[in-house]
With several copies, the nearest count.
Chain A
């Protein structure tokens, strides 16, 4: 058998599975309303220094209202799971809220280009990073969701991603094959935007769920924003569609159009104009400061943010683009 290697980095976030069992044992699992406000959820459930995970896919089904509120409340030294983190990463870096990140994909906004501000934060070491991949972080959530300390897989080996990770190689007890072992990742707080939830936190998501099934089950605390609150009866009438059960959830907030300027599948497309404006604003520090003041710091809540960026008229257009009745981009 060849030598088994280890990544050279330290784990940013790891809880022993027995410690997590004690935590989940004590977590209140009664069927009680979790309704609250964005501001209270951020104040009460996210503390400086904690490690957070954001649902969706960077610019798709993202919990924008909560991300903005984290910036507004000037949370500091947060850790982040950077599982295709695009606009979400951009927001948190703009607010200087995070100082470390397990990364798969950061800085970029996919086909839209790169965030110069986010890039600078990583290049200058303001945000410390450890390397992973999209699958690796999803498997780390999955291990946590399953209640095991690690999962084996077959990627990442032989590359510098492994070298600058905190993964380990192991030998398969049945085949003798070399495998990579991914340690469980339990974020302190998960934040997910969904299509529907009841007041207790029983949630449905339409379309791809990315890694939210796993992340919801991995997180110690879970904040849900939802396009709409639905009666529990409608959940009970179709329990097959429940993706997140209530006992995982700590806060539920109804935020219509809550993924704006991100895409909400089947409902509204991303606001490419606004995302482009954001990327442009980053190029000049003074202009970016004004941009953030205008869009986040001097804004009372999510309604106002939507209002100053076009309000109902803009939302209607994004709905039309999503439904292919109007040309986008």
Chain B
């Protein structure tokens, strides 16, 4: 039985959601590792974009910046940021991966500030970057994040990237493209998805060694339950081998797990 750390687990689990033939805008870190792992395992035809303008590179090593030269190493196209953003706006891109300091039950993400007074934030974060764009314009937003109740909050202090906003139909009513929105949240404890009727977050699978209670305990709002909650399949030996030997041999990402 393979042993693994929580970063390795999250990357393996996330990678399985990326099907062959899909398109994904990835960032640095875990999302990039997940996309690379998917390409090497079950999705050789997963096409990866980077928001600064790189299309379908052959990644030689982990990029530090979503605009650095690694992101367009042996790419099929090195273009500009709006090439990526407009491909997303046209509906060409299936997935994006985002993170944030806070997430709420509708998948709204905050990467801008902590505090209630915009002029006087308690803590200021970098802001949207391309996160709002990707959450608005790709079809499905994925999140990879450690789970705790300070991060999974009833109400985010600031909506940087739109989830389902206030619930079903709210995105469309706000003007965002029809049919787009949050998809999965992969944490160190389990996998969360969204209830189709209410657009609220729900527990879909629990990682080996954890319970539904563990997930609830680490969440600051009431979670719904999927009809059938499964146990997450462990990383396979093959997944771990490829991840460790080919995707992240220098442990830039999995070393943090």
Contact = CB atoms under 8 A, between A and B. Distances in A.
A154 B136 contact: yes
A105 B68 contact: no
A37 interface: no
Given A158-B175, A178-B175, A207-B78, A245 B55 contact: yes
A157 B175 CA distance: 6
B132 A84 contact: no
A142 B125 CA distance: 27
A104 B66 CA distance: 14
Interface residues of B, number: 79
Interface string A265-283: 1100110100000000000
B178 A18 contact: yes
Contact of B85 (A25, A132, A134, A159): A134
A271 B85 CA distance: 29
B77 A18 contact: no
A81 to B, nearest CB: 13
Contacts of B145: none
A105 B67 CA distance: 13
B174 interface: yes
B173 to A, nearest CB: 7
A60 B159 contact: no
Nearest to A28: B21
Given A133-B128, A155-B133, A31 B79 contact: no
A208 B76 contact: no
A159 B162 contact: yes
A84 B139 CA distance: 23
Residue of A21, A136, A232, A240 with most chain B CB atoms under a 10 A cut-off:
A21
A324 interface: yes
B174 A158 contact: yes
Contacts of A60: 52, 65, 67-69
22 contacts: A21-B177, A24-B90, A29-B23, A57-B67, A59-B65, A84-B52, A104-B128, A105-B129, A123-B124, A133-B132, A134-B129, A157-B176, A158-B171, A208-B53, A208-B54, A208-B81, A210-B53, A239-B76, A240-B78, A242-B76, A324-B61, A327-B250
